[in-house]
Amino acid sequence: MQPLSHRKRIPIPFYGLALVLLIPLVSPANSCTEQEKSSLLQFLDGLSRDSSLTESWRSDTDCCTWEGITCSPDRTVTDILLASRGLEGSISPFLGNLTSLLRLNLSRNLLFGGLPLELFSASSIIVLDVSFNRLTGGLSELPSSTPARPLQVLNISSNLFTGRFPSTTWEVMKNLVVLNASNNSFTGQIPTTPCVSAPSFAVLELSFNQLSGNIPPGLSNCFVLKLLSAGYNNLSGTLPDELFKITSLEHILLPSNWLEGAFHGIVKLTNLVTLDLGKNELSGEIPDSIGELKRLQELNLDHNNMYGELPSALSNCTNLVTVDLHANKFSGELAKVNFVNLSNLKKLDLLSNDFTGTIPESIYSCSKLTALRTLQILSDSRSLTTLFIGSNFLHETMPEDGIDGFENLQQSADRTYT
């Protein structure tokens, strides 16, 4: 090896040298502005725990290179993506000074305090996700004179928000598509203003709150609504006919409320995939028109006061995967339903009803069935001493509440006969 002083030197071409000299001169023009850098550092200062962001967010470096920050080609901040970083502290209103910010995701952290009005009313943000934090207070009421906001997705779920939904705020959210405010402590009625002000409004998720009152007929103005979820609230009254006019609906999730009466008119909901009305006070029969719901995959009507026989039209719902009707007053024989057509069925729960007759042989064609709760049908067979269920439930355990009433049962076995 030659001594260092005698090694052959590789000459640097002129254009390479010029580029080396030029880079320090142009980099300030290609970095984020001092105003945007300052706004981000103000946010950092409000955190009591920043999960090592300070190592990346240094004032002497370009903020477009900072962890969780994305910039546009003109070096303006467009994205702040800091989900699940263990951040603790408050959300700085100075983030509202980022005039090109499109997406802000601070979900799944330990942030507390309120949601700054500067973010809620920002003139550029289209996606705002602060879900799974400890944010408190209510949503700010924006003046009706506020120009239309571009916000499309608002996810404030799983926080500690309280109060009613501000009506005028939704009036200026002309582009809103998704509102997820589930798992908070909001009160009052289901908001319907977005149905009128935002023509593309498609997802309304309000489950696990303290909402009350009737389901507002004004929801029928949500012409493209695909998901309505308001389970685990204190909603009451009957299901309005207007609800069944929203033909775009794919998912209706209203379990664990105080809804009553029968439901009719579902024949128009031909796009429905999920219907969950379990744990309410509903009565009446399952209408024959349910057979028109060709896309239906999940039907949950458990823990209600419904009665009557299962309609044979249920056989037409060939995409059904889950049918949960337990804890009702359904009666009659199951043979009216042709289970041969329900080849996708995985769960059938008919426990605690008044069905009679035999389990239809057609149910054996449901090869994907993994959960079957119908043994209660045999509860009147009090002299039964032996129950052979063959090899139908491999690797499954007997349900604890599935053999109630069989006082004389001495042996139940899962055997295979050849």
Torsions phi, psi for 118 (to 5 deg): -60, -25
As a whole number of angstroms, the distance between CA 220 and CA 239 comes to 12
Q: For 292-307, what is the HEC assignment?
A: HCCCCCEEECCCCEEE
Token readout for 292 is 């028109």
Predicted TM-score of the model (pTM): 0.84
Give the confidence band of 385 by pLDDT, cuts at 50, 70, 90.
low
Domain boundaries along the sequence of the chain:
30-111+122-134, 384-418
326: CB partners within 8 A, 6+ apart: 302, 303, 349, 350, 351, 352, 353, 373
Q: Cα angle vertex 318, ends 313, 320, to 5°?
A: 100
Give the pairing type, strands 354-356 and 386-388.
unpaired
- Residue 384 has what pLDDT? 58
Q: Cα angle vertex 338, ends 327, 243, to 5°?
A: 55
Give the confidence band of 12 by pLDDT, cuts at 50, 70, 90.
very low
pLDDT digits (tens, 9 = 90+) for 81-99: 999 999 999 999 999 999 9
- Least confident among 267-276, 301-310, 370-379: 370-379
Count the alpha carbons within 13 Å of 339 in the hemisphere toward its beta carbon. Answer: 23
Going by C-alpha positions, the residue among 44, 33, 34 that lies closest to residue 68 is: 44
In the chain, the amino acid numbered 136 is T
Going by C-alpha positions, the residue among 246, 296, 292 that lies closest to residue 274 is: 296
Name the CATH topology of 30-111+122-134: 3.80.10
Does residue 279 register a pLDDT over 50? yes
Going by C-alpha positions, the residue among 383, 328, 381, 384 that lies closest to residue 351 is: 328
